Structure 1
């Protein structure tokens, strides 16, 4: 595999594009029709989250603190970069993929948890297992669940206070720009940028993992339409990403092409774009919320 340079200029250019477009969209938000603003804001927030994912895996430089600083502005508002980084690296322990106990990004629950859930909570889990539910209420669901878990960590004295302090500083900087300089209301930012941006991110992750007895069979590939491939920085090629997490976004399609020729498994799930996923599961639950192999 080709070595990664000390500074990945395509990713530096990506950072400049995302932040420049975000600054422009917020500065001139009042000139944008209300129906159009979320169509601009949501992709920018999602694109930034995709950039954060690149930073977690060591891009665009070999200097960890610099990568974290470049990725640290919390455009989604609800998740600190440091906690996202640590939980995502835990998610990459492939032997535990989808395990609701060990994988912090799993949407499954254990049979024991399910037995204790109230009927409304069971309904909620089933709703977010359909694509429409994941997109419409998924951001509130994942943010609420995350914040509840973080609150419990505070009570138990296990919170990552440094990550939250860095997050508070970044959120303060972001909101100073949005609310004071650009004179955008908080509700406008939440409804046109943060919430729908998180929703787009949940579109990418909706079908990328599923329970299976063998770890190698738990990850899927979505042959995304070109706009989504760029928006997700090719992370829709998720088998390739889990196979070699350090491959930068602009080399991942080539790596996937070679991997599929040489080492692809017959059991791999391949979706022909997000339209196929929507056809299957827009209003139908993709699977049971209860992990089938625990």
Structure 2
């Protein structure tokens, strides 16, 4: 994968020499991957012993952590062979998104000049003016409501699934079956995951969807809710959201998103140290597009739109 940036990659944070081997062998990431799978297995095995609310919280956390590890495999883990770093995070614990499709779309997102572009940025929540004019009243109302954090968290996962299904259906209707192999492999992976969940651990599919898949998607949408906005300067389009270590670990510190866009291959465990060492420079670089934490985002945007859905330029 290649990425584009408007400035040179920042230097790595300074670390004691005795810790250099960590990065060379990807030890922190490999340990975290093992812990993620172990926690997932423990939750599905003992799911009946846990209250529903706790399974919802822990299941969502593990599902989002696994998605963060998939993101890490796209950008970092460069000391491992490509096939290995992809294979160890490939199992579709989230069920809905093929790893290869995520890889392709996210690569387009990292062309910084195109950030927030309604058509060229695969992760943009903006709409072009011509597209907006073509929408009917109900669709405009839906996309306007999607700018509220409350709506994004509750209905956003369902909207993402509908958008994905609609796009893939249109592709097949035009005779393009280039994704068929990818979906076949994904289906085999889903069958394996559900075989463990249902066949071995006795969990209902509906329970897994409600306590792992959906809350995991909700947490992913919380992170991405306001990490990008339009600005004439590409790096001022990328936010910094500080948080505690528990949330930071779940997102692999991708909440410090401007650092990630400046140096996409920087391992997750170096990002917080780099931010602490270069805090003033980082915040100048992104025009102080900054939040003190997700609590601030909730207070500001739970029932207020984060921005107008029509892109101000494209």
TM-score, normalisation: structure 2: 0.89
How many correspondences in the alignment? 294
Give the Cα separation in 1 of the matches to 2:140 and 2:23.
48
Task: Say whether 1:104 aligns with 2:118.
Answer: no
State the alpha-carbon separation in 1 of the partners of residues 59 and 286 from structure 2. 39
Shift of 1:60: 6.6
Of 36, 55, 60, which aligns to 1:37? 55
Q: Bigger CA drift: 93-102 or 58-67?
A: 58-67
Aligned match for 1:235, one of 250, 254, 272: 254
- The residue number in structure 2 matching 1:17 is 35
Q: How far apart in 1 are the matches of 2:39 and 2:237?
A: 36
Q: Deviations over 1:160-217 (max 9, x none)?
A: 2332222112111101111111111111111111011100011011110001122121
**Partner residue, 1:68:** 86
Conservation of the 8 A alpha-carbon contact between 2:28 and 2:269: yes
> Are the aligned partners of 1:221 and 1:236 in contact in 2 as well (CA < 8 Å)?
yes
User: Structure 1 residue 145 and structure 2 residue 163: aligned?
Assistant: yes
Q: Counterpart in 2 of 1:275?
A: 295
Other structure's SS at 2:272 match:
helix
Question: 1:92-143, CA deviations, whole angstroms, 9 ceiling, x for partnerless residues?
Answer: 0000001011000111111111111121211111122111111111111112
Counterpart-to-counterpart distance in 2, 1:199 and 1:115: 29
Superposition deviation, residue 67 in structure 1: 1.1
Residue of 251, 263, 269 corresponding to 1:244: 263
Q: C-alpha separation between the residues in 2 aligned to 1:129 and 1:115?
A: 18
Unpaired runs of 5+ in structure 2? 1-10, 13-19
1:137-216 matches, cutoff 5 A = 137-156=155-174, 157=176, 159-216=178-235
Aligned counterpart in structure 2 of residue 89 of structure 1, from 84, 104, 107: 107
Structure 1 distance, partners of 2:213, 2:62, is 9
Normalised by the length of structure 1, the TM-score is: 0.95
Contact 2:105-2:122 at 8 Å conserved across structures: yes
- Root-mean-square deviation (CA, aligned residues, Å) is 1.6
SS of residue paired to 2:240: strand
Kept in 2, the 8 Å contact 1:225–1:274? The answer is no
